[in-house]
Structure 1
């Protein structure tokens, strides 16, 4: 299926690895011109090289710490015209209320929650001009609350509310806004979370794979499965979809 994305300009945050990298590659295969954002300049350059090596349009890279507002402003100023914004950056630590300290909680939210909100605000005029799209990669913990991932569950729930609220108002400006709530995905971050859980529940971080055996279909999702959904939602093939959140979790909660 042609997603009719050729020639669109898309910015992807957290594009240096994992889901963000997979989304960037998926959009590049559809003919998008990419702007890649993340902290790690060298990793961004490698993704840009992958895109070029696969015959994609040359990608722009903007190394930036999106947890800092001045860096958000600098990054937004370097993007210019835009059709698609994918807010994916963010890593919130596991732990219950007493295990996640104030500094860790604030640092995580500054990137994922306030980074998503801040960049959406800064790029809103460009997206209004193009009749563009915002896709927020959030997380299923926002709908299935987990006291041992309390900062993540709370932050994800906030971003779900932001996505739905913005989707209502943005329609007046011709902008579509959607979210994706991935469940477990095969990434380095997922392994880190499972290792922490295995340490806590089983007393051995090395037994983290045992938790995957109980997942739907006996596995976590792949980054490509999340990326394919993001590309479709961002495309004109899904032009009447907005203000909604797609859960990709293998099975109903």
Structure 2
């Protein structure tokens, strides 16, 4: 299926690894030009170089910390002509955390999304339209007391996505969200290894926690990236203000 994304310009935050890098792969394969943003310069440059060579697209990078308003403003300026924004940067910790850690986490995952969207939405409106895809997280609908900072932050972003996307088509802008469940990223593996070390005294047993997941595995990052590309395309042109859950049915009652 041709997603009609060839030549489109896409900004992806948190693009150096995990879901962000997988989304970059998906868009690049469709012929989209990329602006990849993250805090990790070496990984970002390597990804951009590889995608540029493999798919004959433009791929540029921007080293930013979306906790900083000056970095948000600079990135928005660099992205003045983009067609698609993928908000993906975030690293909310689990467990019980203090106020400073809570605020630090939300500055990136919650206010980082909101502040960048405020800039980009205005630019898209001025140029005639666009698409914003928010990578949120299933903990925003299946609440987890052991991930309370993330559950609360994700729920806020779900409300933000639905409220903004419910009126955005008046400006020819679509705003959609994706709620991934467990995804087999480096961060997922690190969290499970920490849990295995604490519970079993052996981090190498982390895969035992995956056996109870649907299909006995977490989602592949590319399964999320492919959905991002589809939702950003005109194949999903009547879709706005909604959130797609991709967790193998966990939120629907998987046991």
Shorter-normalised TM range: over 0.9
Q: Tell me, what secondary structure is at the counterpart of 2:146?
A: coil
Q: Which runs of 4+ in 1 moved over 4 A?
A: 199-204
Q: How much does 1:221 deviate? A: 0.5
Cα 1:199–1:94 change in 2 (3 A) is farther
CA RMSD of aligned residues (A): 1.3
Deviations 1:15-63 (A, max 9, x none): 0001001101110111111110001111111111111121231211111
Which residue, out of 115, 122, 126, partners 2:123? 126
Q: For the residues of structure 2 that align with 1:92 and 1:171, how far apart are their CA atoms?
A: 31
TM-score calculated relative to the size of structure 2: 0.94
Contact 1:84–1:234 at 8 Å: present in 2 too?
A: yes
Q: Tell me, what secondary structure is at the counterpart of 2:55?
A: coil
Contact 1:12–1:88 at 8 Å: present in 2 too?
A: yes
Within a 5 Å distance, the mapping from 1:53-72 to structure 2 comes to 53-72=53-72
Note the residue ranges of structure 1 that are not aligned, 5 or more in a row: none
TM-score calculated relative to the size of structure 1: 0.95
Equivalent position of 2:102 in the other structure: 105
Equivalent position of 1:248 in the other structure: 246
Equivalent position of 1:80 in the other structure: 80
Which residue, out of 156, 165, 168, partners 1:167? 165
Q: For the residues of structure 2 that align with 1:41 and 1:186, how far apart are their CA atoms?
A: 22
Number of residue pairs matched by the alignment: 250
Equivalent position of 2:49 in the other structure: 49
Cα 1:178–1:204 change in 2 (3 A) is same
